[in-house]
Amino acid sequence: MRSRRLVGGLAALATIGLFTACSAPADDAASSGELPTGQTISVWTFGATGLEDSMEAWAEETGNTIEIKTSEFDPHHEQLLTALASGAVPDVALVETAYSSLFKPSAKYFTDLREYGAEDIEGDFLDWRWAQGVADDGTVIGLPTDVGGMALAYRTDLFEAAGLPSDSDGVEGLWSSWEEFVAVGEQYTETTGEPFLDDAGVFFQTVYNQGDEKFYSADGSELIYESNPQVQKAWDLATSAAPISANLAAFSPEWNTGMANGDYAVQLAPAWMLNYIQGQAPDTAGLWNVVTLPEGGGNWGGSQMTVPKEAANPALAYDMLSTILSPENQLEVFTEFGNFPSTPELYEDPALTGFTSPFFSDAPVGLIYTESVQALEPVYEGPKERAILREFGLGIDRVESGDETPAEAWQSTLDAVALEVE
Amino acid sequence: MATPALVAESSALRARGPRGRRRSLTPYLYIAPFFLVFGAFGAFPLAYTAFISLFDWNPIGEQAFIGFDNYVDLVADPRFWNAAWNTVVIWVLSTVPQLAIALVLAAVLNQALLRFRTGFRMAVLVPNITSVLAVGIIFTQLFGRDYGMINTVIEFFGGQRIDWVAGSFSSQFAVSTMVMWRWTGYNTLIYLAAMQSIPRALYESAEIDGAGPIRKFLTITIPQVRPTIIFTVIVSTIGGLQVFAEPLVFGGQAGVTGGQSRQFQTLALFLYEQGFRNLEFGYASAIAWALFLIIVVLTIINLALSSRIASEK
């Protein structure tokens, strides 16, 4: 009886084996150099990458399907962490720059994209953006998406109503420094009784991102958040702007509503923010304009698209990434959505530099963001970058809501950061 | 005469040796599912959490043994005490009114004269089967600062708009209302079941003595359901100290920290922040054990109180 059961079991195993063999054309195809079709590529993102349509187009062309899961910013990275630890991973996952230094030491959890020829396209991308996806041991964990060059978007109609100039030359002439910018904001709020800015936290991040050092020293050896004059400056400006801020937490539903309603006049805008504005406030087309920032450019955001180690279809995933992040496609994404390319060969291309956006009153956004990005130097971001930034954001929130004075909040923020980094 | 039969029986038993052993296994198999499930989802995680709490444990990085350092850090961490305090405040704010309202509701539903009784009894349980995230999202909108309905009503009656999330008490109050809304009906049904087992004769003799409804509620109903009240207090303690989803949703962007000043961060949220946001799984495990101990201590206090009340009776 026992032996009969054994035979039965073997037969069942053999059957399973047969089925498995039948349903595994993917491996055969890969070994013959062709990419498999009919596969589902799962992609985890946060926010709007501007790449969704490109992914769909790639899938259609190659006979595969795409499944995109979009989460909020921090939860997305938390889920990715759990997924990496458990092995139940997507084929492609976005990792934002502030988080990349947290994930890079765990490079063995990602597919080394050099296996699929990533080195061949390294030259297409900005050096420092490329380096954000390279671990210490040389593993390429991800390909760069966009660059968050920064500018300033404002509502022409609201500026006009407040008696301010509304054309771009006039607005740029209003201020040559951030202090003057805040002064104009105070004047605006006094005249209209309405807030000038969306969120002092966004203001902090903008100024903080203009520095050549952030919370870590340039060589990454020490934490300088307490002594870095750029951080101090960003803090002072942001907290001084509390009275002119609508105190809407960026990326919250209230913020979206406020943006669509015109509850505030100025939106500090990394290039990808243009995508947000067009998505959240489609009825405000033509009411915005974009000008350069006071005190120079900077980078806010941008991501790497990674392929986790246990991904089901790494070869297909890489094929998709190298297609949708190619210079040609990044140009298309920029003209359609606003996410700015990370491929410098385009910065000479009139199709980019000459691009104007009708949504933003035909502002020369191509030129504005190109200039913002071209002067950029790489800035070191450490493993606790995001955690520290979050505490600074909370500190500014405490000032905005009147819980604490700027001096109290500075001290409580330093205390909170100390607990995070110890 | 009896002997051969006995021998035959025992030899038959011996012959069926393996089956006999199998029969003695049967009761264990019947109770095995509980122990397997409890082992997989109760005992093992508990032990493994204790193990991890002795490490500096990054789930996708380094894992180094550090002994009891996590616990030493925890006791010195003001964020831990803040979260513990918030948890207790939210627990009291939600449990006390919740149980009081549930008692009154149950007494009303227990009235023989009430029409559509079954309908009402089912209705009180609806909040409890609603998804906690849905509850969180709806209440968060109600408590919204700029476009929330509660502020609109307050303003209509000439009051000042309240920034519910930013305030310390206001946010804890708002979170408590969500917990209350979800669990009041559940406790109502438990009380109702207890009240239905109270002998009618007690009420009848009280009526003969001239007792009104309130008098009967206070001197008959409440003493009679006292053991049930103690049970619900213990269950609410265990649940209330693990509140997580409500404050998480309520805080929006700053949900994990429980607001800008950690003003409504509960212990469960603090655990999540340390583990899944900061990758400090060892520290998070230490928090889990601290939470476990707090619940055990409070439950023992509850039990001690309840046995004293029982012996007084």
Q: CB–CB of B260 and A403 under 8 A?
A: yes
Interface of B with A in 85-114 (CB under 8 A): none
Q: CB–CB of A420 and B278 under 8 A?
A: yes
Query: Which residues in chain A touch residue B146, judged by CB atoms under 8 angstroms apart?
Result: 248, 254, 257-258
ipTM of the complex model: 0.79
Q: With contact defined as beta carbons under 8 Å apart, do A101 and A131 qualify?
A: no
Measured CA to CA, the distance from residue A82 to residue A91 in angstroms comes to 15
Q: With contact defined as beta carbons under 8 Å apart, do B65 and B58 qualify?
A: no
The shortest C-alpha distance from A398 to chain B (Å) reads: 6
Strand, helix or coil for residue A384: coil
Q: CB–CB of A105 and B61 under 8 A?
A: yes
A22-47 tens-digit pLDDT? 444 444 444 446 788 889 999 999 97
Enclosing H/E stretch for B15? helix B2-15
pLDDT of residue B266: 95
Enclosing H/E stretch for A45? strand A40-46
∠ Cα B228 B231 B234 (to 5°): 150
Going from the C-alpha of A227 to that of each of A215, A230, A232, A235, B9, the distances in angstroms are: 9, 9, 7, 12, 91
The residue among A122, A76, A99 whose CA lies nearest residue A381 is A99
Query: Which residues in chain A touch residue B279, judged by CB atoms under 8 angstroms apart?
Result: 81, 102
Q: With contact defined as beta carbons under 8 Å apart, do A156 and A361 qualify?
A: yes
The shortest C-alpha distance from B39 to chain A (Å) reads: 20
The torsion angles phi and psi of B148, rounded to 5 degrees, stand at -75, 145
Query: Which residues in chain A touch residue B256, judged by CB atoms under 8 angstroms apart?
Result: 74
| CA A210 and chain centroid, separation | 16
Measured CA to CA, the distance from residue A266 to residue A150 in angstroms comes to 13
Pick from B59, B260, B277: CB nearest A74 = B277
Query: Which residues in chain B touch residue A258, judged by CB atoms under 8 angstroms apart?
Result: 146
Measured CA to CA, the distance from residue B98 to residue B224 in angstroms comes to 19
The shortest C-alpha distance from A274 to chain B (Å) reads: 21
Among left, alpha and beta (phi > 0; psi -120 to 50; other), residue A138 is left
Q: CB–CB of A106 and B261 under 8 A?
A: no
- Test mutation, A76, A106, A388, chain B, max B CBs within 10 A: A106
The shortest C-alpha distance from B259 to chain A (Å) reads: 8
Q: CB–CB of A254 and B279 under 8 A?
A: no
Going from the C-alpha of A176 to that of each of A293, B260, B269, the distances in angstroms are: 9, 32, 44
Sheet holding A288-291, edge to edge: A266-270, A150-155, A288-291
The shortest C-alpha distance from A29 to chain B (Å) reads: 32
Q: With contact defined as beta carbons under 8 Å apart, do B66 and B54 qualify?
A: yes
Q: With contact defined as beta carbons under 8 Å apart, do A222 and A118 qualify?
A: no
Tokens of A394: 């909370």
Q: CB–CB of A387 and B278 under 8 A?
A: yes
Q: What is the 3-state secondary structure (H, E, C) of A259-281?
A: HHHCCCCEEEEEHHHHHHHHHHC
313 residues of chain B, pLDDT tens digit each: 344 444 444 444 454 555 555 568 888 889 999 999 999 999 999 999 999 999 998 888 888 899 899 999 999 999 999 999 999 999 999 999 999 999 999 998 888 777 788 888 888 889 989 899 999 999 999 998 888 899 999 999 988 888 898 889 999 999 999 999 999 999 999 999 999 999 989 999 999 998 888 898 888 888 888 889 888 988 888 888 999 999 999 988 888 899 888 999 999 999 999 998 888 899 999 999 999 999 899 888 887 877 776 565 5
Instruction: Tell me which amino acid residue B286 is.
Output: A
| CA B286 and chain centroid, separation | 21
Q: With contact defined as beta carbons under 8 Å apart, do A287 and A156 qualify?
A: yes
Whole-prediction pTM: 0.82
pLDDT of residue B7: 46
B154-208 tens-digit pLDDT? 999 988 888 898 889 999 999 999 999 999 999 999 999 999 999 989 999 999 9
The torsion angles phi and psi of B64, rounded to 5 degrees, stand at -120, 135
**What is the secondary structure of B76-145 as a DSSP string?**
H-HHHHHHHHHHHHHHHHHHHHHHHHHHHHHHHHT-TT-SSHHHHHHHTTHHHHS-HHHHHHHHHHHT-T
Query: Which residues in chain B touch residue A394, judged by CB atoms under 8 angstroms apart?
Result: 254, 257, 260-261
Q: Does B209 touch chain A (CB under 8 A)?
A: no
Q: Does B59 touch chain A (CB under 8 A)?
A: yes
pLDDT of residue A384: 87
pLDDT of residue A337: 87
* Chain A with chain B: Cβ pairs closer than 8 A: 63
Instruction: Give the β-pairing of A65-71 and A92-96.
Output: unpaired
Q: Read off the DSSP letter of residue B1.
A: -
Tokens of B242: 């693990």
Query: Which residues in chain A touch residue B81, judged by CB atoms under 8 angstroms apart?
Result: none
Measured CA to CA, the distance from residue A48 to residue B161 in angstroms comes to 33
Pick from B144, B145, B254: CB nearest A397 = B254
Measured CA to CA, the distance from residue A250 to residue B216 in angstroms comes to 56
The shortest C-alpha distance from A372 to chain B (Å) reads: 29
Q: With contact defined as beta carbons under 8 Å apart, do A104 and A78 qualify?
A: no
Q: CB–CB of B60 and A398 under 8 A?
A: no
The residue among A114, A120, A174, A167 whose CA lies nearest residue A139 is A114
Tokens of A326: 């190619």
pLDDT of residue B20: 53
Among left, alpha and beta (phi > 0; psi -120 to 50; other), residue A302 is left
pLDDT of residue A374: 84
Structure-token match 């209509």, residue found: B156
Pick from B61, B78, B253: CB nearest A251 = B253
Going from the C-alpha of B160 to that of each of A403, B167, B312, the distances in angstroms are: 17, 14, 49
To 10 degrees, what angle do helices B69-76 and B281-312 make?
Answer: 70
Q: What is the 3-state secondary structure (H, E, C) of A150-192?
A: EEEEEEHHHHHHCCCCCCHHHHHCCCCCHHHHHHHHHHHHHHH
Q: CB–CB of A102 and B252 under 8 A?
A: no
The shortest C-alpha distance from B261 to chain A (Å) reads: 7
B276 to chain A: nearest residue by CA? A78
Going from the C-alpha of B134 to that of each of A129, A246, B14, B249, the distances in angstroms are: 40, 27, 63, 9
Measured CA to CA, the distance from residue B141 to residue B121 in angstroms comes to 28
Alpha helices in B167-212 (DSSP H): 168-196, 200-208
The residue among A361, A369, A372 whose CA lies nearest residue A159 is A361
To 10 degrees, what angle do helices B281-312 and B226-240 make?
Answer: 170
Q: What is the mean pLDDT of each run of 10 residues along chain A (422 residues)?
A: 43 42 41 76 90 93 93 91 92 92 90 93 92 92 92 94 91 92 94 93 92 89 92 95 90 88 92 90 92 87 93 94 94 90 92 92 92 83 89 92 91 92 80
The torsion angles phi and psi of A301, rounded to 5 degrees, stand at 95, -155
Structure-token match 């296996």, residue found: A115
The shortest C-alpha distance from A60 to chain B (Å) reads: 35
Enclosing H/E stretch for B55? strand B55-57
Burial of B30 (0-12, 13-18, 19+ CB in 10 A): exposed
Query: Which residues in chain A touch residue B144, judged by CB atoms under 8 angstroms apart?
Result: 254
Q: CB–CB of A390 and B257 under 8 A?
A: yes
Largest CA distance in chain B: 101
Q: Does B252 touch chain A (CB under 8 A)?
A: yes
Query: Which residues in chain A touch residue B160, judged by CB atoms under 8 angstroms apart?
Result: none
Q: Does B144 touch chain A (CB under 8 A)?
A: yes
Measured CA to CA, the distance from residue A377 to residue A392 in angstroms comes to 23
Pick from B59, B144, B276: CB nearest A254 = B144
Measured CA to CA, the distance from residue A203 to residue A237 in angstroms comes to 8
The shortest C-alpha distance from B21 to chain A (Å) reads: 19
Pick from A85, A390, A397: CB nearest B59 = A85
The shortest C-alpha distance from B84 to chain A (Å) reads: 17
Q: Does B276 touch chain A (CB under 8 A)?
A: yes
Measured CA to CA, the distance from residue B172 to residue A156 in angstroms comes to 41
Query: Which residues in chain B touch residue A103, judged by CB atoms under 8 angstroms apart?
Result: 60
B262 to chain A: nearest residue by CA? A394
